[in-house]
A = this chain, B = another copy of it.
Amino acid sequence: MNETPNREQRYRQRMQRKKEIIDAAIAKADQEKGLLLIHTGNGKGKSSAAFGMVVRALGHGMRVAVAQFIKGRSDTGEEAFLRQQPDVTWLVLGEGFTWDTQDLAHDIETAQRGWSMARGFLQDPSIDLVVLDELTYPVSYGWIDLAFALEDLKKRPAMQHVIITGRNAPKAFCEAADTVTEFCNVKHAFYSGIKAQRGIDL
């Protein structure tokens, strides 16, 4: 007769113990600082996850800057939508991938000019979140000096968050980062013959 209340009671006790463990872990994590996050790997969602955090930041009244290092096209949904937001500064610094531009000297010049603009964001304490979208490519190619970039990242305002996206993140970025997520491709529609879809891929 008492089975049901006992079972419920045991469940509640088990959950209460779990809650205490989790609450203790949350209480232990008491530091606040500007975070450096890396979104790397060959899977889909690296830039999208950064834009999702832009939305989080905007919801808290924070100011955001986005610098896109590769993307040349300007017809993406994220740009159309986020550019309209008064608290977002949006810079398209790239002109496409190397196979689109086919001009190495020009690509290097573009990347370096891009970094000098991104550095401006990293020196501006009024910007709460900086997204350096696809920065890993020009750094991996050696077009932007890794050591200089790291130095600029380290000198940024103490509470400023930075998200770097792109495949093959340099090891030094990951070492300097607070949070590193690898986006692993398990399955991708593109390889089943489905074209890039508005709202999902662009």
Contacts and interface: CB of A to CB of B under 8 A. Distances in A.
A149 interface: no
Given A56-B77, A78-B52, A200-B37, A26 B195 contact: yes
B100 A78 contact: no
A190 interface: yes
A104 interface: yes
B35 A99 contact: no
Q: Which of A45, A100, A178, A184 has the most CB of B within 10 A?
A: A45
Nearest to A50: B52
A86 interface: no
Contact of A186 (B81, B161, B182, B198): B182
Interface in A35-78: 35, 37-39, 41, 43-60, 62, 76-78
B44 A60 contact: no
Interface residues of A, number: 84
Interface stretch (A10-18, A117-125, A139-147, A150-158): A10-18
Interface in A12-32: 12, 15-16, 18-19, 22, 26, 28-32
Please state the number of chain copies in the assembly.
Answer: 2
Given A51-B51, A60-B77, A76-B59, A186 B174 contact: yes
A12 to B, nearest CB: 5
- A-B pairs, top 9 by smallest CB distance, nearest first, are A59-B77, A48-B52, A57-B199, A51-B52, A56-B77, A59-B81, A59-B80, A45-B49, A180-B186
Given A35-B194, A46-B49, A183-B183, 7 more contacts: A29-B190, A29-B193, A31-B195, A41-B184, A48-B50, A161-B197, A178-B187
Interface of A: 8, 11-12, 15-16, 18-19, 22, 26, 28-33, 35, 37-39, 41, 43-60, 62, 76-82, 98-105, 128-129, 161, 174, 177-202
